Amino acid sequence: MTDKLTNAQIAWRAAQDIADGAYVNLGIGFPEMVARFQPPGRQAVFHTENGVLGFGEAPTAGDEDWDLINAGKKAITLKPGTAFFHHADSFAMVRGGHLDVAILGAYEVAETGDLANWSTGPKDVPAVGGAMDLVHGAKRVAVITDHVTRKGQPKLVERCTLPLTGVGCVTRIYTSLAVIDIEAGRFILREMLPALSIDALQNVTGAKLHVTDPVGDLICPEV
């Protein structure tokens, strides 16, 4: 297996597809990294389920105000125009279709667009949180993830075996090896690492990869 992208590089690649002015919710943990890599000249408006819209970057260590946090309990900063609102209003924004993009992590993604990304294990966020609302309320749902588990098993599969977060909700996956769209119940390969062959990628993917257009090179800077 060829070298793979780092988490930061996956996050960088996902950030390139966020439009200027888009309203974006980033899942807890790894997806929060996407906010670090907004392209020059673009500025997303970030939303968090606990009731903040348009917040800024994470503060430097030692300058945190722990009254100002996101849904993952990470410290945030304020920008001109940052808004605070009730938790119920925050979920009304989600359920009302006011978010352009939700970017989440995953344990499994099926070729049908089904997503499994939650666990009640001792080291995980308890229960599903707001993810079930996000995957059906946001206009576009993307996933960032390693292509395989720590044991080398595919995370992109024909059918999820873990409890579902949402059904038919994911449209694009950014992995450590490729960028893959989900269309009509199929994985459509869009980009992959230049040193990787389609056969090698297929060997670590649990469902058939389809090629409908020339496959681009997945090239990310060192970040």
Sequence ranges of the domains in the chain: 7-217
Which pLDDT value is given to residue 57?
87
- Cα separation, 124 vs 165, in Å, equals 15
Which pLDDT value is given to residue 118?
86
Which pLDDT value is given to residue 120?
67
- Cα separation, 88 vs 68, in Å, equals 18
Q: Can you spell out the DSSP letters for the chain?
A: ------HHHHHHHHHTTPPTT-EEEE-SSGGGGGGGGPPTT---EEEETTTEES--PPPPTT---TTSB-TTS-B----TT-EE--HHHHHHHHHTT--SEEEE--SEEETTS-EE----STTS-SS-TTHHHHHHHSSEEEEEE-SB-TTS-BSEESS--SPPSBSS---EEEESSEEEEEETTEEEEEEE-TT--HHHHHHT-BS-EE--SPPEE------
> What's the Rg (C-alpha) of the chain?
17
Which pLDDT value is given to residue 6?
97
- Cα separation, 156 vs 198, in Å, equals 15
Which pLDDT value is given to residue 129?
75
Q: Are 215 and 191 in contact (CB under 8 A)?
A: yes
Q: Which of 32, 49, 108, 111 is catalytic?
A: 49
Q: Are 57 and 66 in contact (CB under 8 A)?
A: no
Which pLDDT value is given to residue 121?
66
- pLDDT by 10s per residue, the chain, length 223: 458 999 999 999 999 999 999 999 999 889 999 999 999 999 999 999 999 999 988 899 999 999 999 988 999 999 999 999 999 999 999 999 999 999 999 999 999 999 999 876 666 555 677 899 999 999 999 999 999 999 999 999 999 999 999 999 999 999 999 999 999 999 999 999 999 999 999 999 999 999 999 999 999 999 9
Which pLDDT value is given to residue 132?
92
Phi and psi, residue 12, nearest 5°: -60, -45
Tell the CATH topology of 7-217: Glutaconate Coenzyme A-transferase (3.40.1080)
Which pLDDT value is given to residue 168?
97
49 carries an active-site annotation: yes
